Amino acid sequence: MNRYGKRIAELRKKRGLNQETLAGHLGITRASLSHYETNRREPDYTLLNRIADYFRVSIDYLMGRDQNPSRALSPEVSDFLNRVELDDESVTEKYELTVDGRKLTPEETRRFIAFIRAERSTR
């Protein structure tokens, strides 16, 4: 059973927001939000992500699969999401960089960085 409607409404009310204000933040109409909150319509994946990001909760929490509304990101993952310096050798050691599902080799990573630098120098 989807609980997203109840969860969205609870989160909205906790923040002291009315439907019109939250709908504006999410880029949807108040009527659409009302339909989501009453489970008459299901938000698509993109909107679920926006809602989760806005309230800083997981999609699993919105869908009722997790009871913990807090996102628990490790400091390492949080740091990665906030800023990644691709020139740092430790990034290629810690993380698997991929394009089209295939891991970049160290040489491909170096060429990628060189390409971006060359592209920026022409602006």
Domain shared by 82 and 49, yes or no: no
Domain shared by 8 and 57, yes or no: yes
Domain shared by 9 and 32, yes or no: yes
Domain shared by 21 and 55, yes or no: yes
Residue given tokens 């489970």 in the structure block: 39
Which are the contacts of 58, defined by CB distance < 8 A and separation ≥ 6? 52, 66, 69, 71
Strand-strand pairing, 102-103 and 98-99: antiparallel
pLDDT of residue 78: 62
Per-residue pLDDT, averaged over 70-89, amounts to: 65
Domain shared by 88 and 55, yes or no: no
Structure confidence by residue, pLDDT tens digits, 34-57: 999 999 999 998 999 999 989 988
- The residue from 62, 89, 108 where one domain ends is 62
Domain shared by 45 and 95, yes or no: no
CATH number at residue 41: 1.10.260.40
Structure confidence by residue, pLDDT tens digits, 82-122: 666 776 676 667 777 888 888 888 888 888 888 888 888 88
Domain shared by 89 and 117, yes or no: yes
Regarding pTM above 0.75, the answer is no
In a domain, residue 47? The reply is yes
Domain containing 112: what range?
75-121
